[in-house]
Amino acid sequence: MQATTSVGSGCSSFVRNSWSRLPAAGSGGGDIEEAIKRIARFECPVLITGETGVGKDEVARAIHGAGPRRNKPLVTINCGSLVNSLAESQLFGHEKGAFTGAASAAAGAFRTADGGTVFLDEIGEMPIDLQPRLLHVLQHHVVVPVGASREHPVDVQVIAATNRNLPAEIRRGAFREDLFHRLNVFQMAIPPLRERAPEIPAFIAHFSAYFAAKYQLPLWRPSAELLARFLRHPWPGNVRQIAQTIQRVYVFYDFVDEVLREVFDAESNLVQPPTAGATRLPEAATLEPGPLDFNLAELRRRTVRRAMAHTGGRRAITARLLGVSPNTLTKLVAEACPAIPPRTKPQRPSASPRGPAAARGAREEAPPGASAPGGYRQLPLLPEVEVYQVAQASQQRFRFVDPQRQGDSVALGR
């Protein structure tokens, strides 16, 4: 069975108008095309499950196109993008003035799709407080718009899709069990492409024909050796990844080898399970002695200690190294290095007599090298400046030595 085969007499337009990612026969899942036609005939709710990229949205479109509702609207809602404050309005509509900004009435997805199909993509991400409203619609086939006082009947087929494990979501309280059973009248589990490797040549042929026609380029066919590489590749992005790979082959038609090498080399960059001989991480040798601790607080303390040691305790450089402010670093150092005394601001100089007499008294009482008035230690002057006497108290001259001209000196005075 080919991936490009029509899935029903009513689905031929669907196949022509899109580059279908519809999976062919699923391993252990029966004939998917036959299941699509049966679901479309009886118009029952269906839950499509599978990994990202296997083609769940294409299956939903095929179900809609294969049944009697094919000439009616198909409305797709991505449940992961529903805004909590507007979700009810997006799904069920609202009346004019129902909330701030509701300048006019809106039908919502279900009333817009009346007579057709509503496709709820990523149903596992629907907000939990919205799920009872959806359950009510499925049970009674009516919607109540926001701000309305009466119900509106709707006739839609509901198709839902998810890449999540809904039974596990039910156990953790993120999905309603009654809603799951209401949607799960018929479940289609689409296997990942790595379990359907024999179908890969059909997908390659289909996408090659599609993009050759779209870009007006010659049809690309892989060699036998390259096709074997396609079959061995795990394709973590499933059918969507193959479609994107073939598209890049046509866009970069003069760099095909580089495009495919990038795709296939990505497989070797994936994280592999640890082997018996690889039980230690290379980075472990640079950690502090002791058992490896994945506690975030402890890792933060170790990082601060190592940064302080690396910078020789210079806090300004340490703050820049860690990307934090000086105030934040002070808190981190106090937590990680309690043995380091906290920095204290110098005391403000106390008021003292002013004037020449007070200055002369301070010079006479303070011994050489003592702290200057106010508690500040007198820092040594730069070596290029030689001061012989205090200029404020004498008429004597002092000299400035330019380090670039050691043999010259400039005499300065008052």
The verdict on residue 331 lying in a domain is yes
The verdict on residue 374 lying in a domain is no
Residue 354: strand, helix, or coil: coil
Question: Residue 332 belongs to a domain with what CATH number?
Answer: 1.10.10
Q: For 142, what's the count of Cα atoms within 13 Å in the CB-facing half-sphere?
A: 8
The verdict on residue 389 lying in a domain is no
Per-residue model confidence (pLDDT) at position 376? 42
**Which residues contact residue 364 at a Cβ distance below 8 angstroms, ignoring those fewer than 6 apart?**
none
Tell me which residue range forms the domain holding 319.
289-336
Per-residue model confidence (pLDDT) at position 353? 55
Per-residue model confidence (pLDDT) at position 42? 86
Per-residue model confidence (pLDDT) at position 48? 95
Domain check: are 75 and 141 in the same one?
yes
What are the pLDDT digits (tens) for 30-75? 467 788 888 888 888 999 999 999 999 999 999 999 989 999 999 9
Question: Residue 222 belongs to a domain with what CATH number?
Answer: 1.10.8.60
The verdict on residue 30 lying in a domain is yes
Domain check: are 65 and 157 in the same one?
yes
Domain check: are 56 and 150 in the same one?
yes
Per-residue model confidence (pLDDT) at position 305? 83
Contact 23, 55 (CB under 8 A): yes
Domain check: are 14 and 129 in the same one?
yes
Q: Specify the number of domains making up the chain.
A: 3
**Ranges of the chain whose pLDDT falls below 50:** 1-21, 23-30, 269-294, 362, 364-403, 405-414
Domain check: are 184 and 207 in the same one?
no
The verdict on residue 124 lying in a domain is yes
- Separation of first and last alpha carbons in the chain: 103
The verdict on residue 362 lying in a domain is no
Domain check: are 187 and 228 in the same one?
no
What are the pLDDT digits (tens) for 150-203? 899 999 999 999 999 999 999 999 999 999 999 999 999 999 999 989 989 999
